[in-house]
Structure formats: C-alpha cells, structure tokens
Structure 1
C-alpha cells in the first residue's frame, strides 16, 4: 500500500516545546484556522452541541473536523494521550509543524520496498511511539540538521549519478540542502 510522506523544515526542539506548553495564544491561533465543526453534520449525533465543544467529548474524535481541536488541546495541555486517538495527535502535530516551519515537499513510499532509502524510513517513523501512542495508520519521524549535513554530499552525488535510488535521490538531496542552508531539522509525517 502506498503512503505519502510530507516533509517540514522545523527543529524537533521547537515541536517538543509546544507539548505541554499551555500556550493559549498559539493554540487559539491554530484553532481559529481550523474548519468549524458542525455537530449536525452527522458525524457525532450522540452528542449535543455543548458537549461537542468540550475538551473531553469522546464522540468528537470520530469526526475529522472535530478531532483536530480535541487533539490540539491535548497536545498543548501535555496529555493525557489516549491510545485510541493516536492518529488524531499525529495529525494535530502536523498542523503545528505547518505553523512552525515551511512544508518543503513530499514523497510516495511503501513500507517493505527493498529500494527504500533508510532516510525516508527515518522521516516516516523514527518517532513512532515517542511522545504519543503508537499507531499503524500514521506516523512521524525526523532527521536532525547535523545528520542532514553529513548526508548531503552522498545524496547530491546520488542525485547527479545514474542510480537515483528509485526517484528518492533528488528530493532527499533537496531536503538535506534546505536543512543545511536554513539550519533546521527535517520532520516528516505519513498517512495512508
């Protein structure tokens, strides 16, 4: 099964600083940018409107428009992080990364593909189970700026050479170059 990896130029320390920060201004800005949840759209009929706006409405995690506010609130509060909502936390964390740094590209990949570079796997899954519960339908990972600087010459050579590593060499070289130039880590999110 094919997955899409989205890559952002953001320091991991910036992301970790948000978790449990209780930064109401930042949270409020993110919440204001989200589509409004309409309990009448049928995704959470068992609740009434007042419950759906509450931070503890279990039913809201079943509705995509409502799960993001709930998960964002949990992240800014520092938890608790329920295993049943792991996908929502990772999706909300990607919303945070969209705000903290630029989106710099994406790549399709398949777990288990023999030609898949280790660096794609690092961006897709090296943080699975860290900070948030593990899920097998989404994931996230990172490569530090120091590692990007070390890997850049190799991937620039790969991108210029005859073996493009199944099309991954050029994007990896570009992402590593941006990381080195802007002195930021790479953070990736996948779903699918």
Structure 2
C-alpha cells in the first residue's frame, strides 16, 4: 500500500484563524477557486456515507456543528482551506511512498544532526480544535513553524558533507527536499503544513 505526503508553505496563524471564523467570503472563494477539484474529490468518495466536501468546508469555517463519524471529511476540508491560503511544495520524494518512509527520512536527518523537524509528525496530528479527529487517522496533519524550519536549516548547514554523503542516496534526496521546504518557509516568514494520506 502506498501513501502520500502533501506539504504547503502557509501562514499558520491565518490557517488556524480560518477554523471557526464564520468567514462566508472565504468559503465562497474556496468553492470558486477549486470548483472542479472539489467535484472530483467528492466523486472519489461516491458510494460511501461521507459528507460532501463543500459541506465539510462550511462546517470547519463556521466552527460546527460537526456530524459524528465525519472527522475524515472535516480534516480534508481543512486541507482545502490550507491549499487556498498556502503554496504547494514539491513532494516528489514523498508521493507515492511506502509505509515507514517518513521515519526512515527522519533517521537520516537525525544522523546528520537535524532534529528540529520530523517528517513522521505530519502523520500523527489532526486539524486544530474544534475540528474532530479523522476516523481512520487519515488524513494526518502536522506543521513546522518558521522558527523550527530556521533551526533545521542551521542544523543542516552545520552537518559535514561526509555525513550527508554517507546517507542512502534516496534518503539524502528526501532530506534535501525537506530542507527545500524549510528554505521556502524561511524566505516567506511562514511555516510548513503537511497532510499524510
């Protein structure tokens, strides 16, 4: 079974503030910008007893009410809100990926002294309260603050070339992608939001 990690550079404060904001203009703008994408997204879940994603987006922006057993759709709705506010980052080294790949990359980062960020943490969290947790832990959500990205870049810069060269080439490439995400976040003064599915 394969998985994917999708990451964005985004102002995390703006993203968090969207939850429960009651901003109907934001809801309409998301619906307009992603109209065909949202229809395609719903088509992937046809036949399942899941809320249409537009309804889920409305509930997240309004801060509820939330239906029981629809946490997965509410967390996907949060992903669409993130996509609206953020900028998509290259995820070629993480889509598709096998189970355990984020942890493998984290081991590589740790081996060269990068401990400020963790790829695996994108799979363990969820959208902020009051959004319910996803029913099957998918999508997972996590974020790296600007400060953590800057610290990771410092740690990466302090690592010697020999320790980087000793990494498996695929792990090194994925680690370099992570540092690219951190550089993009640092340059924008924003954070990184990641969704695991």
- State the TM bucket, normalised to the shorter chain: 0.7 to 0.9
Q: Give the TM-score taking structure 2 as reference length.
A: 0.73
1:72, 1:89 within 8 Å by CA — same for their partners in 2?
yes
Q: 1:53 maps to what in 2?
A: none
SS at match of 1:105: coil
Q: List gaps (5 residues or longer) in structure 1.
A: 45-57, 62-66
Aligned pair 1:73/2:62, yes or no? no
Within 5 A, what are the aligned runs for 1:76-95? 76-95=61-80
Within the candidate set 184, 187, 197, 1:181 is matched to: 187
Distance change (3 Å), C-alpha of 1:168 and 1:31 = same
Which is worse superposed, 103-112 or 71-80? 103-112
Deviation at 1:129, TM superposition (A): 6.7
Q: Give the TM-score taking structure 1 as reference length.
A: 0.75
Deviation at 1:147, TM superposition (A): 0.6
SS at match of 2:70: helix
Deviation at 1:105, TM superposition (A): 2.0
Within 5 A, what are the aligned runs for 1:20-169? 20-33=20-33, 34-35=35-36, 43=46, 61=51, 67-106=52-91, 107-108=94-95, 109-113=97-101, 115-117=104-106, 119-125=118-124, 127-128=125-126, 130-131=128-129, 132-135=131-134, 136-156=137-157, 161-162=164-165, 163=167, 166=171, 167-169=173-175
1:9, 1:184 within 8 Å by CA — same for their partners in 2?
yes
- Aligned-partner Cα distance in 2 for 1:130–1:151: 24
Q: List gaps (5 residues or longer) in structure 2.
A: 107-116
Q: 1:10 maps to what in 2?
A: 10
Distance change (3 Å), C-alpha of 1:183 and 1:129 = closer
Deviation at 1:133, TM superposition (A): 2.4
Deviation at 1:130, TM superposition (A): 4.0
- Aligned-partner Cα distance in 1 for 2:53–2:160: 38
Distance change (3 Å), C-alpha of 1:111 and 1:13 = farther
- Aligned-partner Cα distance in 2 for 1:101–1:138: 17
Q: C-alpha offsets along residues 141-175 of structure 1, whole Å, 9 cap, x if unaligned?
A: 10111011111133356695212572321111101
Aligned residues: 169
Deviation at 1:134, TM superposition (A): 2.4
- Aligned-partner Cα distance in 2 for 1:130–1:165: 33
